[in-house]
Amino acid sequence: MVAMNVVEKILCRASSRSVVEPGEIIRAKVDRVMFHDLTGPLTVKAFEEIGVSKVWDPDRVVVIFDHLVPPNSERAALNQRTIREFVKEQKIKWFYDIGRGGICHQVMVEKGHAKPGELIIGADSHTCTYGAVGAFSTGMGATDVAAILATGETWLRVPETVCMEIDGELGDMVTPKDVILHIIGCLGVSGAVYKAVVFKGFTVEKMSVSGRMTMCNMAVEMGAKTGIVEPDHVTEQFFKSKNIPYSSGFVSDQNATFDETHTFDVSKLEPQVACPNSVDNVKPVSEVEGIEIDQAYIGSCTNGRLEDLRLAARIAKGRNVKPDVRAIIVPASQEVYQEALKEGLIEIFLQAGALVCNPTCGACIGAHMGVISEGETCIASINRNFIGRMGSPRAKVYLASPATVMASALTGVITDPRRVAT
Amino acid sequence: MIVRGSVVKYGDNIDTDVIVPGKYLGITDYEELGRHALEGIDPDFSNKIKQTGILVVGENFGCGSSREEAPVALKYAGVKCIIAKSFARIFYRNAINIGLPIVVCPEASEKLDNGDIVTVNLAEGVIINTSKNEVYRTKVLPEFILEILKDGGLVAYLRRRLT
């Protein structure tokens, strides 16, 4: 038997083959397909133009409204109406309308639509997030997704696989976001183009599914096709606690080979910040402390989960957001929002003078609810700081962990959260 | 498939937010989308490319989001072919799927300059630079991808086969 890694094993199963090799092009059956309100209109249009009347399997399709929620324009409202009609007409089983779900990648994992060993395609580049539960998931465009709706299949180039061996215990206020920013800073934004990235090692073993989602989510920021963590006891516990049926998926054979292996010791890692205008322009927080900010934003599919809000609340408790700074908190889903309410986190934010918005991609894509103007600076727990990402092309965006963002909101300048934490 | 034109050239890691910013997503008038293509790095791009047609870029072109509006905007702005050192993978698929020819050729990406007159033969994997009298060779695309491009995109390709 040929030794294979986790990625090759999943692609073997999906293509009904006994072996696959990097570089090969395969046809694969898709276990689940997802699109949202922004990629939906083009997906529906392309599906209708293909000319088949029925979706291949309405039980395997998930539609989630999150980007422009609630609609910020007549155009957005009309686009959502078109998708709603398509969902009804095609009897699509999993539809999360406004107020029912939240940010698509969070909903996919928290509602059990992504499981170990599955091949999942979504019309969104951060679909790679579900590697956190051992799935092979990757983003495609609207037409590719329409083709899957019509046929249940897609073509894939079997990727080379890069192994990130991460060791060391993370210090207080140092988070999975700091780890992934550090890795992207080392490899660069084209450091893993077309490749799959497997995250391994002691640090990853100790990480929750939430932290693993943050890591896998940003794999695409170094050009990767997907990021993945091999399922283990943490994964199993995650599904058990949610009462979601669980199958163990795949792990790499012991003698499996990787295209490259990079090792990182993160035991002394300090909080990291990605500076404008590239995700790989990463510096330790000590080198950028003191830069003035206008807005602090905590949210997105990268860092809007309960664990993130808890950390931010720990810093904000009993303190106030600096006058002249706007702090915006966006829970990643309705479920996260409710849990945060129960735990008293939302109250802490409100008392600190932060604005709490509904779950949405919102300002992370520069569309609404916190867009910034020219000359402004925002520190955000999101995944991209490209020119114009959060609004004006003449605004500046710094990426950091929810801890660093909240610490900076309190002081008005970029701040090491370890200074502020109690 | 043969494409002719002259070159407009830019650098590395040009992302989808620069190709078409998030605020324009949802616009279904493709001509209008095209007028905003690449305006983040060159407000005059859509005027230039109409006269020239061949977009030459560096590595990791189209990194970022899965928005299909990115290749659509370039196509409707007047891009007839993109030559790059490398593409981000979702952009690569999206371009093929909407019938926009793209070629990976590090040598051409390096040697071609603004204004060079080129002929791209996709089926044979050959790029001829008439201005400099040079020829660059590249990997031929897999047969089924050439078929998708010949049909004008994945929708037309599937329509012909499924209905």
- Residue A23 belongs to some domain of the structure: yes
pLDDT of res. A86: 98
- Residue A53 belongs to some domain of the structure: yes
Q: Please give the mean pLDDT across all residues of chain A.
A: 96
Distance CA A162, CA B89 (A): 16
Contacts of B1 (CB under 8 A, 6+ apart): B101, B121, B122, B123, B146, B149, B150
Q: Please tell me whether residues A413 and A290 are part of one structural domain.
A: yes
Number of Cβ pairs < 8 A linking chain A and chain B: 126
- Residue pLDDT, tens place only, A70-102: 999 999 999 999 999 999 999 999 999 999 999
**Residue A141 pLDDT level (bands cut at 50, 70, 90):** very high
Nearest Cα to Cα of residue B76 among B31, B44, B46, B42: B31
Final residue belonging to a domain, choices A246, A264, A282: A264
Q: What is the mean pLDDT of residues B92-119?
A: 96
Q: Please tell me whether residues A245 and A382 are part of one structural domain.
A: no
pLDDT at A216 over 80: yes
Q: What is the mean pLDDT of residues A28-44?
A: 96
**Residue A109 pLDDT level (bands cut at 50, 70, 90):** very high
Percent over 90 (pLDDT), chain B: 85
Q: Please tell me whether residues A300 and A353 are part of one structural domain.
A: yes
- CB of A68 within 8 Å of any CB in chain B? yes
Distance CA B131, CA B54 (A): 14
**How many helices (H) and strands (E) would you count in chain B?**
8, 7
Q: What is the mean pLDDT of residues A239-261?
A: 94
pLDDT of res. A1: 75
Q: Which CATH number do you get for residue B29?
A: 3.20.19.10
Structure tokens at A106: 């969070």
Contacts of B45 (CB under 8 A, 6+ apart): B8, B37, B38, B39, B77
| Beta-carbon separation of B28 and A142 below 8 A | no
Q: Which amino acid is at B141?
A: L
Domain tally for chain B? 1
CA distances from A406 to A38, B86, B106 (A): 29, 38, 44
Residues of B in contact with A365 (CB under 8 A): 22, 25, 65
- Residue pLDDT, tens place only, A270-319: 999 999 999 999 999 999 999 999 999 999 999 999 999 999 999 999 99
Confirm if A301 and A270 have CB atoms less than 8 A apart: no
Structure tokens at A53: 């009347």
Final residue belonging to a domain, choices A233, A264, A295: A264
pLDDT of res. A91: 98
Residues of A in contact with B66 (CB under 8 A): 39, 122-125, 127, 139-142
Q: What is the mean pLDDT of residues A367-389?
A: 95
Q: Please tell me whether residues A288 and A248 are part of one structural domain.
A: no
| Beta-carbon separation of B25 and A42 below 8 A | no
Nearest to B90 among A76, A125, A384 (CB): A125
| Residue owning tokens 């710094």 | A398
Q: Please tell me whether residues A218 and A316 are part of one structural domain.
A: no
**Residue A422 pLDDT level (bands cut at 50, 70, 90):** low
Q: Please tell me whether residues A310 and A194 are part of one structural domain.
A: no
- Residue A359 belongs to some domain of the structure: yes
- Residue A1 belongs to some domain of the structure: no
- Residue A65 belongs to some domain of the structure: yes
pLDDT at B44 over 90: yes
**Residue B141 pLDDT level (bands cut at 50, 70, 90):** confident
Q: Please tell me whether residues A194 and A134 are part of one structural domain.
A: yes
pLDDT at A243 over 70: yes
Q: What is the mean pLDDT of residues B104-110?
A: 96
Percent over 90 (pLDDT), chain A: 96
Domain tally for chain A? 2
Q: Which structural domain, as residue segments, surrounds residue A166?
A: 6-264
Interface test with B, best of A50, A75, A184 (most B CBs within 10 A): A50
Nearest Cα to Cα of residue A311 among A227, A405, A396: A405
Distance CA A384, CA A26 (A): 31
Q: Please tell me whether residues A102 and A247 are part of one structural domain.
A: yes
CA distances from B157 to A15, A50, B67, B153 (A): 22, 8, 21, 6
Distance CA A14, CA A153 (A): 9
Q: What is the mean pLDDT of residues A199-227?
A: 97
CA distances from A326 to A112, A230, A321, A355, B121 (A): 35, 39, 8, 8, 54
Interface test with A, best of B60, B109, B158, B159 (most A CBs within 10 A): B158
- CB of A223 within 8 Å of any CB in chain B? yes
| Beta-carbon separation of B60 and A146 below 8 A | no
Q: What is the mean pLDDT of residues A21-38?
A: 95
Q: What is the mean pLDDT of residues A191-198?
A: 95
Q: Which structural domain, as residue segments, surrounds residue B77?
A: 2-162
pLDDT of res. A388: 87
Beta bridge partners of A263: A165
**Residue A29 pLDDT level (bands cut at 50, 70, 90):** very high
| Beta-carbon separation of B163 and A141 below 8 A | no
Q: Which CATH number do you get for residue A244?
A: 3.30.499.10
Burial degree of A202 (CB within 10 A; 0-12, 13-18, 19+): middle
Q: Please tell me whether residues A238 and A277 are part of one structural domain.
A: no
| Beta-carbon separation of B68 and A42 below 8 A | yes
Q: Please tell me whether residues A130 and A247 are part of one structural domain.
A: yes
Final residue belonging to a domain, choices A264, A290, A324: A264
**Residue B27 pLDDT level (bands cut at 50, 70, 90):** confident
Q: Please tell me whether residues A29 and A103 are part of one structural domain.
A: yes
Angle (deg, nearest 10), helices B154-162 and B89-97:
60
Q: Please tell me whether residues A65 and A160 are part of one structural domain.
A: yes
